[in-house]
Amino acid sequence: MTDPGKFFKSAFTVDNVIFGFDEGDLKVLLIKRGEEPYKDKWGLPGYFVYPDEDLLSAAKRVLKETTGLDNVYLEQVKTFGAVDRHPVGRVITVAYYSLIKTSDYKLTASSTVLAQKAKWHSVSKLKDLAFDHTEILDACFQLLKRRVRRRPVGFELLPPKFTLTELQHLYEAILETDLDKRNFRKKILSMDLLVDLDEVQEGVAHRPARLYQFDKAKYQAFLAGGLIFDLSESKKKASRAKILD
């Protein structure tokens, strides 16, 4: 008869992949680890699940302890269970994912034991993260790419008022693709999801651009129908995977 006790020698962790968009660049929130293994290395905000808490509660607790972020919607993405993924022993991790407006949150590494520092990093320039966090990040990044083709994620990543150029740069950053300016604007405006605020940018060196916002009611109704961008005339950028090599 198999001894059930041998199946209770694994630990569980949660890792959070938090995407934000700032200054025309897609970013991910990382922490500088405050303890071994991989002390002083950058990695995803993550830690062990306590015996008396569920996975989602653990993910929210760890995110707050390591970055100071609270009240963030988290969606479970995937479980990573390679036998050798943690140098101390068998550790299975569950990855969570979220999109937030960077301007809405202030970062504070609440626990110096777990995280010395919390900082936004450009997704396109990342390399050499702790553990298998590059693999976890890539899985969530690929999910974001699929999502962006079905719904206007700019609603979750852009400030309340934005320009069409900022919206285009967001999609280009996520899809790693150069989009034709004229075709993009024609397509996005034809979806009738944006409200022209009859306002322009202030305090910019270039010619002020018109400001828009998402129509919340139409946005919610449109989610059920899906969103697809035709990228057949676009020129792809270097892939993130190639940048990491």
pLDDT 10s digits, 149-159? 877 788 889 98
Q: Determine which of 25-39, 112-126, 230-244 has the lowest per-residue pLDDT on average.
A: 230-244
Q: Which pLDDT value is given to residue 164?
A: 94
Question: Is residue 161 very low, low, confident or very high in pLDDT (cuts 50, 70, 90)?
Answer: very high
- Average pLDDT (27-55) is 95
d(CA 143, CA 76) in angstroms, rounded, equals: 11
Residue 4 lies in a domain: no
Which residue matches tokens 């970055």? 67
Q: Would you put residue 71 in left (φ > 0), alpha (ψ -120 to 50) or beta?
A: left
Domain boundary among 104, 125, 148: 148
**Which has the higher per-residue pLDDT, 122 or 233?**
122
| DSSP state, residue 239 | -
What is the reported pLDDT for 11? 92
21 and 123 in a single domain? The answer is: yes
Angle at which helices 164-175 and 133-148 cross, to 10°: 130
Residue 1 lies in a domain: no
Task: Give the dihedral sign, CA 4/15/154/128.
Answer: negative
Say if residue 237's pLDDT is above 60: no
The stretch 100-122 carries a mean pLDDT of 83
Mean pLDDT of 167-184: 92
Asked if 225 and 129 sit in the same domain, the reply is no
Residue 147's pLDDT band (cuts 50, 70, 90): confident
143 in a structural domain: yes
Q: Provide the mean pLDDT of the chain.
A: 87
* Predicted local distance difference test score (pLDDT) of residue 230: 58
pLDDT of residue 242: 39
Q: For residue 187, what is the domain's CATH number?
A: 1.10.10.10
Locate tokens 């479970």: which residue?
Answer: 76
Choose the weakest-confidence range: 37-51, 149-163, 169-183: 149-163
Q: Mark whether 130 and 166 lie in a shared domain.
A: no
Task: Return the pLDDT at 166.
Answer: 92
Q: Given the structure tokens 């693999």, which residue do they identify?
A: 135
Residue 126 falls within a domain, yes or no? Answer: yes
Positive or negative, the Cα torsion across 44, 33, 23, 100? positive
The CATH number assigned to the domain holding 76 equals 3.90.79.10
CB atoms within 10 A of CB 53: 13
Of the pLDDT bands very low, low, confident and very high (cuts 50, 70, 90), residue 244 is: very low
Residue with structure tokens 């200054």? Answer: 23
User: Are residues 25 and 92 located together in one domain of the fold?
Assistant: yes
pLDDT tier at 18 (50, 70, 90 boundaries)?
A: very high
Contact 236/177 with Cβ under 8 angstroms? yes
> Do 133 and 18 reside in the same domain of the chain?
yes
Are 26 and 135 part of one and the same domain? Answer: yes
Same domain, 15 and 40: yes
Cα 123 to Cα 8, 17, 199, 224, 238: the distances in Å are: 36, 11, 32, 29, 13
Are 139 and 77 in contact, with CB atoms under 8 Å apart? Answer: yes
Residue 118 covered by a domain? yes
Between 96 and 101, whose confidence is greater?
A: 96
Report whether pLDDT(243) > 50: no
Domain boundary at 123, 148, 173, which? 148
Mean pLDDT confidence for 71-81: 95
pLDDT digits (tens, 9 = 90+) for 182-223: 999 998 898 888 999 999 988 777 888 999 999 988 877 776
Does residue 6 belong to any structural domain of this protein? no
Q: Does any domain span residue 165?
A: yes
Looking at the structure, tell me whether residues 180 and 220 fall in a common domain. yes
Higher pLDDT, 224 or 175: 175
Residue 166 within any structural domain of the chain: yes
Same domain, residue pair 204 and 232: yes
**Domain carrying residue 227:** 154-244
Last residue of a domain, one of 148, 173, 191: 148
**101 in the same domain as 65:** yes
What's the token pair of residue 23?
């200054």
Same domain? For 30 and 143 the reply is yes
Cβ 133 vs Cβ 32: under 8 Å: no
Q: How far apart are CA 117 and CA 10, in angstroms?
A: 28
Number of domains the chain is built from? 2
Statement to judge: residues 133 and 33 lie in one domain:
yes
